[in-house]
Structure 1
Amino acid sequence: MTDLSPQLTPPGESVASQSVSSLVAAPLHYHLMGVGGIGMSAFARLLSAAGHRVSGCDESVTELTAQLQAEGIPVATGHAAAHVLDAPFGPVDVLVASEAVPKDHPELVAAHASGTLVRPRMALLGDLLRAGPSVGVIGTHGKTTTTSMIAVAMQSAGLDPSAFVGGIVPEFGSNARVGAGPFVAEVDESDRAFAELGCATAVFTNAEDDHVGGNQATYWETVEEQHAGFARFVAQSGRVLLCADWPGLDELVTGAPERLSYGQAEGADYRAVNLRPDEDGTSFTVSFRGQALGEARVGLPGTHNVLNALAALAVTHLHGGDFARAASALGAFRGPGRRWQRIGELNGALIVDDYAHNATKVAAAVQAARQTGRRVRIVFQPHRFLRTQQSWPRLADALMDADEVLLMDIAAASEAPIEGIHATLISGRMTENGHAGVTYLPDRQEILRRLRASATPGDIIVTMGAGDVWKLSRELAGGTA
């Protein structure tokens, strides 16, 4: 029988590790294509902190590119072969690009012709995961929040982690952190190359059918292939900590050298019990194999956030961190950017923005809103025509528990429209199923006028989706988008 006992560091001792700065001995010049993206910008910060020279380029100027410039990382607008070959950026030692970049792109062609090393972004993440003790968070939902919670809990528990996160963590003021402790990373399954990687501890949150189908360069053809990718990552890792509450994960971790579990389920190694939800979050007790570790609280509503926090506390415990300090940090944690992010108020109504864009995430966000005890008013922007085609009935069902839904047009995200696929498929199904408060409202100004005229102190207004719906939440709260 497999020994499932965790290899715990004695209390009070941190895990010795190589820091990110020891990734390579000699500094190099890295140039990152698409550096304005949330992942590439994190790479830029980690590489710069490690002592490398870093530059980048992106199609447009964004808040992230402006921040990088302010941090001393030069960013060019647009893409050109000159970035690889000529001053002020070139010649460069390493060009980093997503697998989604076409192979005939001028910068890639120039790099190959000049002998410049080209590194896919996932290969670079693999370098970081192998540089020392590491934690890789995988799954189709909750990665950004769970990764953020692990890093924040570890930091407070005295473990000094490095981190690579797909969102801005308020406690760090960044999507990256450099420390001497374990490297904690969000590993994105939308890039198929993730299946070539592994880490010391894989945190496996769930597995569904997101990022599957269509002509996206990095998407999976079938959900079976994607889930096989999860299984490969786990098998190439030292151990896996899987969510016992998510059905089917056991079947995907049979190749793991060591298995532990977390959840509310009977038999989980780490359990959250005695849940006490309230308007602002949930208090609960954490036990490890029947022995109470202590009381904890997550300052975000929703059962899914209890599980995310439990995973963070479990990882911190596995690395010998101080449980009480980690739990205290999670009680004050308010989430990374666009993950149940409290934006402000309108006429006393609470305004929250959330990245939820597939059915499971939408249902979880609606459940979190219901936990506040307020009237739940959702502004939902479907994301991508293909995703809407695959899941519009499930999206409609996930929104049914909201009191009101204002439905925007589909955010294309560079996809071509698909005939017959429209946001009204969602609103039509909801109406047919008896929902009296759903309205298709593509006019953004009308959404603003309607909510400004009707918001009351008993409301929670949630802007929801992976597109630019977030801008409305800022406008409603009185800021600028």
Structure 2
Amino acid sequence: MTDLPEAVSPPGVAAASSIRPSRPDFQSLHYHLMGAGGIGMSAFARLLSAQGHRVSGCDEHASELTARLAQEGIPVAPGHAASHVTDPPFGAPFGPIDVLVASEAIPKTHPELVAARASGVEIRPRMALLDALLRGGPSIGVIGTHGKTTTTSMIAVALAGAGLDPSAFVGGIVPEFGSNARVGAGPFVAEVDESDKGFAALGAGTAVFTNAEDDHVGGTQATYWETVEEQHAAFAQFVAQSGRVLLCADWPGLDELCLGARERLTYGQAEGADYRAANLRPDADGTTFTVTRRGEALAEARVALPGLHNVLNALAALAVVDLHGGDVPRAAAALAEFRGPGRRWQRIGELNGALVIDDYAHNATKVAAAVQAARQTGRRVRVVFQPHRYLRTQQSWPRLADALMDADEVLLLDIAAASETPIPGIHATLISDRMSAGGHTGVRYLPDRAEVLRVLRETAGPGDLIVTMGAGDVWTLSRDLVGPL
């Protein structure tokens, strides 16, 4: 099921008008995607359908996203069953399934996979689909622990603004495209998620490497790496298999992970970076800056999202445009209108004059960046934070507490389990207790959501910034705050 709550529009004119015509030898196949309601699988579904394939899917949970896929001609069956393979319920135009697509997280004993093997249906990992797309022409693969969705979205928007007509695979809804996928005749840009270990076998024409930390490490789940060293070695492998790497010069340690790169370029504020963001002029709504390439000014740029991390994301996007021969000033103009993908500093509305923002930040670095962005607005910062996963909380609750210290007020929800079994002694109050011990007087553990809504409705006013923050379902509170009582 998708992490994104908002309705998803079809790719629309911008995408449909630029679909490449089928090759004379093109053969339409029936692809069936397990977990089609996920943000990644739904993007694959759209890309495959745009290429002329027959696409169906299934998902444990119905959602607005699965309903939208159905409206676009991609039926999504409820639940999972072997009969989806042996007796597809999708109608005569789809016919038998040719390829079953599943993530590596799905057990090999799953009934649909067992039925596919018994029926001779090809089972293709989702990373194999991404590999084919990345190898199909000029490509950009965005890797790193933080900022992939925003950076990928910015690259796609910047390339489109420069007239380069990109295709895109994004882990979020890009408002400019009305979708998480776009099909064009230009370069293909993709968010490459390190939670799927299969990414290590891939490469891109240009690898954009944002940062490397210890997220998705230490668990037994299929989406976790045993050690940070193993995960970072996979980053290094992706870089070595790519044509070149554009790495963030401001993030310590990335140089070492890129020693195997065929060509290395850097971006950031650091002296000596190939592409630099200079003369930063932050304000309440974003930051204006100068883009330079080895000392030469390329364009004046603006990102209408607060926070230094968004300046760096935009700089990476403009560097990619330059590397692909695009018009950087035109790309910068397009980025100046960019408002962010879904759940990444997403403006929801107002409550009694207070601005309500929703943000996906869920680990310490992302939380700290979101709080710093909130402070840039000059408003009183009021955060509703939902810790995500017991293991992540066990690993990082002190860092999460420290990251929240700069907020004026923090209302703390219970941990979003995300299917994990509770760990004894791991509780959201670890965060609030540490913050209180550190001198924060505005933190409260408030698990009753009705009480959170009551408190904010009674106390919100002009000058406040309310941020619902986390990777779970905390986003629903932001909608409730701005919606009718």
Task: Tell me the TM-score normalised to structure 1 length.
Answer: 0.95
Which residue in the other structure is 1:408 paired with? 413
1:21–1:252: structure 2 CA closer, same or farther, 3 Å change rule?
A: farther
Which residue in the other structure is 1:422 paired with? 427
State the shift of 1:175 in Å.
Answer: 0.2
Contact 1:164/1:176 (8 A) holds in 2: yes
- Within 5 Å, give how 1:79-98 maps onto structure 2: 79-89=80-90, 91-98=96-103
Which residue in the other structure is 1:215 paired with? 220
State the shift of 1:330 in Å.
Answer: 0.8
Percent of matched pairs sharing the same residue? 81
Q: Which of 302, 322, 326 is the equivalent residue of 1:321?
A: 326
Contact 2:19/2:50 (8 A) holds in 1: no
Contact 2:165/2:186 (8 A) holds in 1: yes
Contact 1:348/1:456 (8 A) holds in 2: yes
State the shift of 1:24 in Å.
Answer: 8.1
Contact 2:19/2:184 (8 A) holds in 1: no
State the shift of 1:91 in Å.
Answer: 2.1
Q: Which of 369, 389, 394 is the equivalent residue of 2:399?
A: 394
The SS at the match of 1:214 is: coil
State the shift of 1:23 in Å.
Answer: 12
Which residue in the other structure is 1:59 paired with? 60
Following the alignment from structure 1 to structure 2, what is the Cα–Cα distance between the partners of residues 62 and 185? 24
User: Is 1:156–2:161 an aligned residue pair?
Assistant: yes
Following the alignment from structure 1 to structure 2, what is the Cα–Cα distance between the partners of residues 100 and 294? 44
Following the alignment from structure 1 to structure 2, what is the Cα–Cα distance between the partners of residues 304 and 220? 25
State the shift of 1:22 in Å.
Answer: 6.2
The SS at the match of 2:440 is: coil
User: Is 1:203–2:208 an aligned residue pair?
Assistant: yes
Which residue in the other structure is 1:5 paired with? none
Which residue in the other structure is 2:378 paired with? 373
Following the alignment from structure 1 to structure 2, what is the Cα–Cα distance between the partners of residues 318 and 296? 17
Q: Which of 464, 473, 478 is the equivalent residue of 1:468?
A: 473
Following the alignment from structure 2 to structure 1, what is the Cα–Cα distance between the partners of residues 268 and 250? 6
Which residue in the other structure is 1:139 paired with? 144
State the shift of 1:87 in Å.
Answer: 3.4
- Within 5 Å, give how 1:28-427 maps onto structure 2: 28-89=29-90, 91-427=96-432
State the shift of 1:214 in Å.
Answer: 1.3
1:79–1:372: structure 2 CA closer, same or farther, 3 Å change rule?
A: same
Q: AA paired with 1:204?
A: F
| Cα offsets for 1:378-420 (capped at 9, x unmatched) | 0000000000000000000000000000000000000000000
Contact 2:150/2:313 (8 A) holds in 1: yes
1:342–1:199: structure 2 CA closer, same or farther, 3 Å change rule?
A: same
Q: Gaps spanning 5+ residues in structure 2: where?
A: 1-17
Following the alignment from structure 1 to structure 2, what is the Cα–Cα distance between the partners of residues 284 and 22? 44
Task: Tell me the TM-score normalised to structure 2 length.
Answer: 0.94
Following the alignment from structure 2 to structure 1, what is the Cα–Cα distance between the partners of residues 86 and 167? 32
Which residue in the other structure is 1:431 paired with? 436
Q: Gaps spanning 5+ residues in structure 1: where?
A: 1-16
State the shift of 1:20 in Å.
Answer: 9.6
Following the alignment from structure 1 to structure 2, what is the Cα–Cα distance between the partners of residues 100 and 366? 32
| Cα offsets for 1:195-240 (capped at 9, x unmatched) | 0000100000000000011121131000000000000000000000
Following the alignment from structure 1 to structure 2, what is the Cα–Cα distance between the partners of residues 130 and 207? 24
Following the alignment from structure 2 to structure 1, what is the Cα–Cα distance between the partners of residues 465 and 453? 15
Which residue in the other structure is 2:458 paired with? 453
Q: AA paired with 1:221?
A: E
Following the alignment from structure 1 to structure 2, what is the Cα–Cα distance between the partners of residues 190 and 37? 14
Following the alignment from structure 2 to structure 1, what is the Cα–Cα distance between the partners of residues 462 and 194? 40
Q: AA paired with 1:469?
A: V
The SS at the match of 1:123 is: helix
**Aligned residues, how many?**
464
| Cα offsets for 1:62-82 (capped at 9, x unmatched) | 011010001011110001111
Following the alignment from structure 1 to structure 2, what is the Cα–Cα distance between the partners of residues 175 and 278? 29
State the shift of 1:324 in Å.
Answer: 1.2
